Amino acid sequence: MSRVPELFGSMVFNDSVMKERLPRDVYKALRRTIDQGTPLDPAIANVVAAAMKDWAVSKGATHFTHWFQPMTGITAEKHDSFISPCADGSVIMEFSGKELIKGEPDASSFPSGGLRATFEARGYTAWDPTSYAFIKDNTLCIPTAFCSYTGEVLDKKTPLLRSMDAISRQACRVLRLFGKEVNRVTTTVGPEQEYFLINKEDYARRPDLILTGRTLFGAPAPKGQELETHYFGTIRPRVKAFMEELDDELWKLGICSKTEHNEVAPCQHEMAPVFTTTNIATDHNQLAMEVMRKVADRHGFVCLLHEKPFEGVNGSGKHNNWSISTDKGENLLEPGSTPSSNAQFLLFLTAVIKAVDEYQDLLRISVASAGNDHRLGANEAPPAIVSMYIGDELGAVVDALVSGSDYTDPGKNSMDIGVPVLPHIPMDNSDRNRTSPFAFTGNKFEFRMPGSSFNIACTNIMLNTAVAEELCQFADELEQAEDFDAALLQLIRREIKAHQAIIFNGNGYGAEWPEEASRRGLLNLRATPDALPHYTDEKNVELFAHHGVYTRQEMESREEISLEEYNKTLHIEAMTMVHMLHKQILPACMDFSGKLAQNVAVKKSIGVDSPEETQLVRNLTESTANLSTLTVALEELLQKVPEGTQPASRYYCDQILPAMGKAREAADRLEMLVGKDAWPFPTYGDLLFYV
């Protein structure tokens, strides 16, 4: 373990490398850019680029790439070598400031949702100096933002950086009212990443896993997760070896992987890093997913990041732990121990409550996908209804504020403005509500709806911007106040009262909750096509325009891209189903029943009656015919997808998905009738339980 400190960040052009390799004035200028967002002088960029290149070459790198996050949800890279030919036939390794700052990849094949016609294929990538460059596969990767030539954003990083600026601006205004001069406030995120590891050989025999990332067929195994033996269970040696190598690889990249454990479902695990600035946490999470896949491969596993790879078994999510802190290290969601810090905490808490209530739709949209639709509302994931859990202690404070009564906890004082001294809120409250989509966990909020394969940028763009808006409104009001304390208390009371419907401390999995939520007027956007059209609701367009995060066109294009992705995903799934039915399942069923029928005939020819076998042949033949009919029905439906992204998404949701469900049910029943050796691919038992 002693080598960990040397290993950590060894592939990152981080602060200590910069300090060591850059002239002092260049280092200082770059640091100012990183910390305060001041523009970088091109002359300085040249020096930085040369130092970066020398460092990268010393680590064995031969290429560089602008590493970016287009709207596909994955990361993109186009590698160029450092090589530059000389007149004498030799080469030198070169990398200029211009190449560092700006790249011009052909953008035509990335989704733009109509923002950019293919013939205007030019796009450019711009260096994001706030996220350190790193080396991956002998390539120097430079984290970048990706825009069209006319300036529209085509990626997830640019709006995330804008949303971080927005919340910083507004939070600094609010802090000034409390007498604090703060230059920058940043949101921090620690994303917990769930995943499955399954055997590579099994994966290779499942076209559904290969093409869609999830199983489209599979009867339940005799054993599921009912014994609850997997969660935090002993880690199998093969998995342990994987986790050790994963940690090594992540540490080299400066990703502070901290916690590794088994999750609830068989073959399901989790990795949680130590939290960091949202922008870096997002980059790191994208990288971590990539590294997980690669390392799994080296251990004979495939890492499944799909939200619901197996029906009837827990799916995988990504818990977005989120907080806000100042550049002086003060966590603004940490309840204080003095009356004034309590008041400040309560104001930020109120901003989050108001934001989550007013922009429930955006939070829901940020986690909407075909894959996550199978998970949200299932028994292990929060429901599709957004609500907040704040715990009993804070709940009592909030109730007291709303009812206007003084919250009196024996032994605790109440400050003049009536804001109580908060009781100590245990950070690791063990019985905290696991069923809440958005839970306060002592000094941060944990948003549990994001799916395991998601880029967390989107969720954090929504959260940062929505909270920025509320802080802006609060600052507008309080900056005008004559009596700050009185105005503050009045505002907190008024807003909590207006938005307390979003607070729900009960069981989010309970059957009564959807009814109760509907009485409270909360949204229940069950499926992706229910949620996405709200993206461009007028209030949302105004929100993002107000804070300079998205223009209307950018939002329209994002809505279009997400809906299109939903449609394409379902199309591929349905086609894969039809393919597996025709090529594998139906032939296997026919073969099996045919052989059985032959046996019956042979037995009969020697005078042996086999009524049970005869009945089984009949059953199999009928069920196979039924499955065949369902297959044809699905194929026919696929021919009739309506024009237009939105109508098509409704059709996929309301027509195709139920037809897929019926075909699956029939096929899974047949799986139980057909002999194991005759079934054409590994079953749930094979995939999830092995030695």
Which partner, Mg ion, ligand ADP, none, binds residue 272 by CB below 5 to 8 Å per kind? ligand ADP
When the beta carbons of 319 and 375 are compared against ligand ADP, the nearer one is: 319
CB of 442 to ligand ADP, least distance (A): 8
Spatial CA neighbour of 420 closest among 388, 444, 396: 396
319 forms part of the interface with Mg ion (CB under 5 A): yes
3-state secondary structure at position 195:
strand
When the beta carbons of 192 and 469 are compared against Mg ion, the nearer one is: 192
Contacts of 240 (CB under 8 A, 6+ apart): none
Q: Please report where in the chains the tokens 């195994």 appear, as a residue.
A: 221
Which partner, Mg ion, ligand ADP, none, binds residue 321 by CB below 5 to 8 Å per kind? ligand ADP
CB of 439 to Mg ion, least distance (A): 9
Q: Please report where in the chains the tokens 């069950």 appear, as a residue.
A: 526
Answer yes or no: are the C-beta atoms of 187 and 322 closer than 8 Å.
yes
Which partner, ligand ADP, Mg ion, none, binds residue 315 by CB below 5 to 8 Å per kind? none
DSSP assigned state of 581: I
| Burial class of residue 544, CB neighbours in 10 A (0-12, 13-18, 19+) | buried
When the beta carbons of 356 and 417 are compared against Mg ion, the nearer one is: 356
When the beta carbons of 30 and 378 are compared against Mg ion, the nearer one is: 378
When the beta carbons of 73 and 317 are compared against ligand ADP, the nearer one is: 317
Which partner, Mg ion, ligand ADP, none, binds residue 429 by CB below 5 to 8 Å per kind? none
Of residues 514 through 533, those in contact with Mg ion by CB under 5 A are: none
Which partner, Mg ion, ligand ADP, none, binds residue 259 by CB below 5 to 8 Å per kind? ligand ADP
CB of 272 to ligand ADP, least distance (A): 4
CB of 647 to ligand ADP, least distance (A): 40
Residue 34 corresponds to which amino acid? I
Q: To the nearest 5 percent, what fractions of the chain are helix, strand and coil?
A: 50, 15, 35
What stretch of H or E contains 357?
helix 339-358
**C-alpha span between 659 and 311 (Å, rounded):** 16
* Distance in Å from the first CA to the final CA of the chain: 29
269 forms part of the interface with Mg ion (CB under 5 A): no
Q: What is the CA radius of gyration of the chain?
A: 28
Which partner, Mg ion, ligand ADP, none, binds residue 190 by CB below 5 to 8 Å per kind? ligand ADP
DSSP assigned state of 455: -
Cβ-proximal residue to ligand ADP, closest one: 190
CB of 469 to ligand ADP, least distance (A): 21
Spatial CA neighbour of 501 closest among 357, 603, 662, 343: 357
When the beta carbons of 283 and 446 are compared against ligand ADP, the nearer one is: 446
Cβ-proximal residue to Mg ion, closest one: 319
Q: Which residues bind ligand ADP (CB under 6 A)?
A: 188-190, 192, 259, 272-275, 319, 321-323, 331, 443-444, 446
Of residues 165 through 194, those in contact with Mg ion by CB under 5 A are: 192
Which residues are bridge partners to 414 per DSSP? 420
When the beta carbons of 163 and 188 are compared against ligand ADP, the nearer one is: 188
Which partner, ligand ADP, Mg ion, none, binds residue 268 by CB below 5 to 8 Å per kind? none
Which partner, ligand ADP, Mg ion, none, binds residue 528 by CB below 5 to 8 Å per kind? none
When the beta carbons of 192 and 686 are compared against Mg ion, the nearer one is: 192
Which residues are bridge partners to 193 per DSSP? 271, 318
CB of 60 to Mg ion, least distance (A): 37
**C-alpha span between 129 and 142 (Å, rounded):** 9
438-440 and 445-447 as β-strands: parallel, antiparallel, unpaired? Answer: antiparallel
Q: Please report where in the chains the tokens 């019956």 appear, as a residue.
A: 600
When the beta carbons of 188 and 282 are compared against ligand ADP, the nearer one is: 188
DSSP 251-278: HHTT--EEEEEE-SSTTEEEEEEPPEEH
CB of 329 to ligand ADP, least distance (A): 10
CB of 188 to Mg ion, least distance (A): 15
Residues binding Mg ion (CB under 5 A): 192, 319
